[in-house]
Amino acid sequence: MAFNGLKKAVTLTPCVRTLPSGVPAAPLLNLAARAPADHGHGASGPRVDVTPRWAGGVSRSSSGLASKSYVTLPSTTPSTARFLHTSVAVKDAPQVPDFSHYRANDNDTNRAFSYFMVGSLGLISASVAKSTVAEFLKTMSASADVLALAKVEIELATIPEGKNVIVKWRGKPVFIRHRTQAEIDEARETNWQSLRDPESDEQRVKKPEWLIMLGVCTHLGCVPIGESGDYGGWFCPCHGSHYDISGRARKGPAPLNLEIPAYEFNDAEGKVVIG
Amino acid sequence: MPFSTTLYNTFFRRNSIFVPTLFVGAFAFGIGFDSGVTAFFDRWNKGKQWKDIRHKYVEAAEEE
C-alpha cells in the first residue's frame, strides 16, 4: 500500500523539438556524419566526423585513457590590443546626434523671440478672457427693445402753463407740471432747510418751469391729487399727506418728497424723454 | 545694440513692465480686432445693410 504512491506514472515532456519537416531536432547530434566508406568491406579510412583536437578528445594518461572536453576554448584571435589602426575615434557618447545645426546662432535674438512668443500668447489669452467676461456681462443688460419700451416721450408744447399732465411710465403715473412764474417763486422762497426731507427746488428740477416727478405718495403708494392741499401742490387722499408746488412733503405722514425720475429735455423737438 | 536686446531690456526684463504691457496690448488688440472684423463685415455685405440703403427710403419719406 505504501508503494502505490511511488508507482505513479509520470509523463515527461518531450525533450526534443520537432523541425517543420518532421525530423526531431537534436542540436548535439551530427546527422551529417557518414559511416566509413567501405563499412568493413575494406581498409577503413579516417572518419570524417572526427572532433578537432582543440575541442577535447581521448588522451592516454598514467591511469589509463582519459576523455576530456574543453569548455573554455582558447582564443583564436590575438589577445593583445592593436595600437595601430584605421578605425574612427571612439566618442564619449557615440549615440548622440549632432545638434549643432539646430542650435540658435544668436542667444539674444533667441531670448527676445521666446519672450515675444510667450507675451503674444499672454496677450491673446488676456484679450479672450476680457472678451468672455464682457460678453457674459452684456447678456445681463437690457436689450434694445426693452430699453425702447422703458422710455416715454411727451410733447411739452401741448401742456399749457399752470396745468398738470399725468402720463404712465413703467406702470407708474408721472406728474408733469408746467409751473407759472408765481409758483416757481413760491417754491424757491420756501425755507427748505427746515423741511422733513430738505431739498431745494433747484435740486428737484432741471428747468424751473417744468416739474417732473413720480406720482406715487411716499407714504403708502397712493396717487396724490393735483392742485389741492394746504400748500397749493398735491394732496394724498389716503392718509392726508400734503405736498407743495415742488413736490416736497410738508404735512401728514409722508416721510419723503415725491421721487424725481431720470429725464432729459430734447430741445430740438420740444420734448421731454422720461427714462 | 541690436533690436532684440533693446526689446528685451525694454519690455521683457522686468515682470512689472511685461505684464502691464500685456494688458495694455490686450486692450489695444481687442479694439483693433473689433474694428477690423467690423470693417471686413461691412465690406463683405456692402449694399445690403440698412445704413447703405437708408438714403433711398428716408428721402422718399421726407418728400411725401
From the list A108, A119, A122, the residue facing B4 with the nearest CB is A108
- A115 in reach of chain B (CB within 8 A): yes
CB contacts < 8 Å between A and B, how many? 47
> Closest Cα to residue A241, out of A220, A259, A261?
A220
Tell me if A214 sits within 8 A of A199, measured CB to CB: no
Supply the CATH number for residue B57's domain: 1.20.5.260
- B21 in reach of chain A (CB within 8 A): yes
The dihedral of CA A137, A143, A146, A147: what is its sign? positive
Per-residue pLDDT of chain A (275 residues; tens, 9 = 90+): 445 555 555 665 556 677 888 777 777 766 666 665 555 555 556 666 677 777 777 888 888 888 888 777 666 666 666 566 677 667 677 778 888 888 888 888 899 999 999 999 999 999 999 999 999 999 888 787 787 778 888 888 788 887 888 888 888 888 888 888 888 888 788 777 888 888 888 888 888 888 888 888 888 888 888 788 778 788 888 888 888 888 888 888 888 888 888 888 887 777 888 87
Instruction: Report CB contact under 8 Å: A127, B21.
Output: no
How many Cβ atoms sit within 10 Å of the Cβ of residue A151? 14
Nearest CA in chain A to B30: A127
Determine which one of A85, A178, A219, A239 is catalytic.
Answer: A239
CATH of A152-274, one of 2.102.10.10, 2.70.98.60, 2.120.10.80, 3.10.20.740: 2.102.10.10
Q: What is the pLDDT of residue A129?
A: 94
pLDDT digits (tens, 9 = 90+) for B10-20: 899 999 999 99
Question: Could you tell me the residue range of the domain that residue B36 belongs to?
Answer: 3-63
- A114 in reach of chain B (CB within 8 A): no
Tell me if A193 sits within 8 A of A235, measured CB to CB: no
Number of independent structural domains in chain B: 1
Q: What is the ipTM of this complex?
A: 0.80
Instruction: Report CB contact under 8 Å: B29, A127.
Output: yes
DSSP state of B45: T
- Residues of A with Cβ-Cβ distance to B29 under 8 angstroms: 123-124, 127
Q: Grid coordinates representing A210?
A: 417744468
Residue with cell 559511416: A35
Strand ranges of the sheet holding A241-244, from the earlier edge strand across to the other edge: A225-226, A232-236, A241-244, A249-251
Tell me if B26 sits within 8 A of A133, measured CB to CB: no
Q: Grid coordinates representing A138?
A: 452684456
Residue with cell 402753463: A161
Instruction: Report CB contact under 8 Å: B7, A116.
Output: yes
Q: What's the predicted TM-score (pTM) here? A: 0.42
DSSP codes, chain A: -TTGGGG----PPPSSEE-TTSPEE-TTS-TT----SSTTSS-----TTPPPGGGEEEEEETTEEEEEE-SSPPPSS--SPPSS--SPPPPSSTTS---TTTS-S-HHHHHHHHHHHHHHHHHHHHHHHHHHHHHHHHTTSPPHHHHHHT-EEEEGGGS-TT-EEEEEETTEEEEEEE--HHHHHHHHHS-GGGSSS---HHHH-SBTTEEEEE---TTT-PPPEES-STTEEEEETTTTEEEETT--EEESS--SPPPPPPEEEETTTTEEEE-
Q: What is the pLDDT of residue A80?
A: 62
- A127 in reach of chain B (CB within 8 A): yes
Backbone dihedral angles phi then psi of residue A171, each to the nearest 5 degrees: 80, 5
Tell me if A186 sits within 8 A of A250, measured CB to CB: no
Instruction: Report CB contact under 8 Å: B23, A126.
Output: yes
For this structure, is A85 an active site residue? no
Q: Grid coordinates representing B3?
A: 533690436
- A47 in reach of chain B (CB within 8 A): no
CA distance A122 to chain B (A): 7
Give the residue from A110, A114, A120, A127 with the most B CB atoms within 10 Å of its CB, the best one to mutate. Answer: A127
How many Cβ atoms sit within 10 Å of the Cβ of residue A38? 10
